[in-house]
Structure 1
């Protein structure tokens, strides 16, 4: 991988690496993160020190190392850079033991400014974690469960990466929204301004996807089945959905203004969002009601008021008792 990153790989090595990527999406994902976070001159001091310690090099050497040895050191340095970057990216389990975590409980939302100045607004039922030494790392990485709206302070030498269960998003100077709740079957990335690169963890054709402003990517980690019978991911890219016909308000980001906007949405999917918004359990006594499609907007209404709004568009009954909302047909 280090040789390809540096442009020194042979045709045979490239073919071998491509075959590896086809059979092992995790290897491809590792390479893509390394490529996207490739270190540019000047190399950060922390990585220079790591390379020097690995190569046991001290002091100036350019005038005394023969050409063939300089080449060896150069390619060894490339390999070490790749190893160091890879370690920074994939030692996430041990990193989280020294991490900070921001939580927005059901029924609430919260906003936080990260140490680098990036602002993140978390929707209800979401959590964001990041290393305590977040700003001193070559890559600024966070892990998201739930939904968040990011306004990232761009730093080309220290890329900002959001990890979810199924995708990773690399900031290229951006305002964007990410929704990745564990109980949703889709992961959604919505770009408002700038550019993001999305890396899929699995799929028939693993690859990077660069979004343009006002585009969104929907990724289903179990969207299809491959020839071996294994679940594999599928994705689609579409335009964001305007809310109320305005250019600057979208269904996907209305929640940051405390609005729940839904357009032809399944009642079952809407109910999951309402559970997080109102911090209560919602159950259906009639399964067919889940498939009813609804359109509307909920702003400051209580759960009882919201139910009455929905009843104006479709026929159903409901009861609320002990923190549980039960929906059914008449």
Structure 2
């Protein structure tokens, strides 16, 4: 079974065990037709999603993605793993175990924590920006003192456009940015330009930041 979400929208998904998923822009969720029948509930995610997992102590719930694996019993969390980038998990409530590569978990998170898994499987845990993590499920971009590269990666994923930074110093700039996702890309870029930290221009499927 597979569910795909086009760019600039989200899709609610109800799994057979009662788990509720909100699938993010440009994302795909896959699971077997016999989901949960072999003693484990496993899905594969390409992109990002919010999971509210139905508790079942006998059947762990595993989210496989490009460069990490997240294992839970019953909890609420976000997973972000677009191909080619670092993966991340933000825990809202309950407990999850996050592992790099294909391992089924390894580092346990507490509510309010975020784990970032790099391309080599290394894991870094920090305090999560909960508003930013869940903003897309509320139809908003929400960033509070966030790195500009993270902001632009989110915007690029939502509108399905490329991102090009023309100066390394711009990557680590920190910005505050809140804006509705339902508006056209041109409006978002105008709001970004109004911040005065860089110049944002869209052309031929790519946003250039100078």
| 2:154 counterpart residue number | 273
What's the offset of the Cα at 1:287? Answer: 5.5
In 2, Cα distance between the equivalents of 1:326 and 1:200?
31
Matches within 5 A, 1:1-330: 100-184=1-85, 186-201=86-101, 208-222=106-120, 233-242=121-130, 250-284=131-165, 288-299=169-180, 300-328=182-210
What are the Cα deviations for residues 62-111 of structure 1, in whole angstroms up to 9, with x where unaligned? xxxxxxxxxxxxxxxxxxxxxxxxxxxxxxxxxxxxxx111112222211
TM-score (norm 1): 0.57
Matched position secondary structure for 1:236: strand
In 2, Cα distance between equivalents of 1:316 and 1:197? 38
Structure in which a larger fraction of residues adopt helix: 1
* Higher RCO (Cα < 8 Å, 6 or more apart): 2
Q: Once the 2 structures are TM-superposed, how far is the Cα of residue 201 of structure 1 from its aligned partner?
A: 3.3
1:268-326 deviations in Å (ceiling 9; x for gaps): 33222212212333444556544433221121432222122222222544444454443
C-alpha separation in 2, matches of 1:177 and 1:325:
26
Moved more, 260-269 or 305-314: 260-269
Structure 1 gaps of 5+ residues are: 1-99, 223-232, 243-249
Aligned residue pairs: how many?
Answer: 209
TM-score, structure 2 normalization: 0.86
1:166-205 deviation line (CA, Å, top 9, x unaligned)? 2221112201111111232x221111111112233389xx
Which consecutive unaligned segments of at least 5 residues does structure 2 have? Answer: none
